[in-house]
Amino acid sequence: MDFIQKSEPDLKKPIVIAAMQDMGNVGSIVIDFINDKLNTKQFRVAKSSYPSYVLDYGGYIELPDEKWEYRYTDDLIVFGGGRSQPQTSEELHALCQDVIDISKKYSAKFIYTLGGFHTNRQLDKSPKTFVTATSAQLATQLEKSKFEITPQKSLITGFNGLILGYAKTNGIQGIGLYGELNDPEIPQYRAAKSIIKILEKLTYQKFGDTTEFDMMAKDVDEKMKNHWPPKYRQ
């Protein structure tokens, strides 16, 4: 993993929002939305040293440009997004450690991550967002504040889970937000919208109008409906 510092932002005890592409593209959707709405600026880039695939453009190939950006605005660092996660355990751990190093460098006190929560419960158009924390005490506070805690024990794989472990072992508080979804193979804009609303409450920040997600979700619904066999259409 290569890390390239582009600039040195003037930040004082920012919060960190860090997430990567995962089920339903939720991590990337939310990170891209925040960066766009807050007009964040890039200051550091992480690049994969050893991509695990090539892109075939129909007769010729190109190497993927696998990179993830650190961006910032007032008292906020936003990391991640992208089209994938690191393909090796070594690169994944190196990336998590770098996020922690950058958090410490700017004296960040809190890390938020987010992703999808795969459920078999049939969802309406308002999926829930569950939260989990780096300590039982923090989880109790969240529950008292009427946030919905993750309902059972489970594994949270990939960056959007592991970064909480790195935060915990480095003395940084963290919260993970995971939006319900049924199908992890299609973009889940309603889950992303649900996460943003909860993230706004937790951070006391406004990230922008999310009505565009309603239109995107409706478009995905229509495309999926047209691809189902007739007997499954509603």
Sign of the C-alpha dihedral, residues 91, 96, 97, 101? positive
User: pLDDT by residue (tens digit) across 76-91?
Assistant: 999 998 878 888 899 9
Q: Which CATH architecture has domain 2-227?
A: 3-Layer(aba) Sandwich (3.40)
pLDDT score recorded for residue 120:
84
pLDDT band per the 50, 70, 90 thresholds, residue 230: very low
pLDDT in tens, 67-77: 899 999 999 99
Tell me which amino acid residue 64 is.
P
pLDDT at residue 204 tops 90:
yes
Distance CA 205, CA 107 (A): 19
- Position with higher pLDDT, 155 vs 25: 25
Distance CA 41, CA 70 (A): 8
Q: Over range 89-95, report the average pLDDT.
A: 93
Give tens-digit pLDDT for 1-12. 899 999 999 998
| Identity of the highest mean pLDDT range in 18-27, 57-66, 222-231 | 18-27
Torsional class of 100: left (φ above 0), alpha (ψ -120 to 50), beta (otherwise): alpha
Lowest mean pLDDT among 9-13, 104-108, 222-226: 222-226
Q: How far apart are CA 230 and CA 109, in angstroms?
A: 53
Query: In the predicted model, is pLDDT for residue 28 greater than 60?
Result: yes
Band the pLDDT of 176: cuts 50, 70, 90: very high
pLDDT score for 227: 63
**pLDDT at residue 50 greater than cutoff 90:** no
| pLDDT above 60 for 99 | yes
- What is the average pLDDT value for the chain, to the nearest integer? 90
Calculate mean pLDDT across residues 150-173: 91
User: How confident is residue 178, by pLDDT bands cut at 50, 70 and 90?
Assistant: very high
- Give domain limits for the chain: 2-227
Look up the pTM and report it: 0.90
Look at residue 134 in the predicted model and tell me its pLDDT: 96
The CA R_g of the chain, rounded to the nearest whole Å, is 18
Task: For residues 121 and 182, give the distance between their C-alpha atoms in angstroms, rounded to a whole number.
Answer: 7
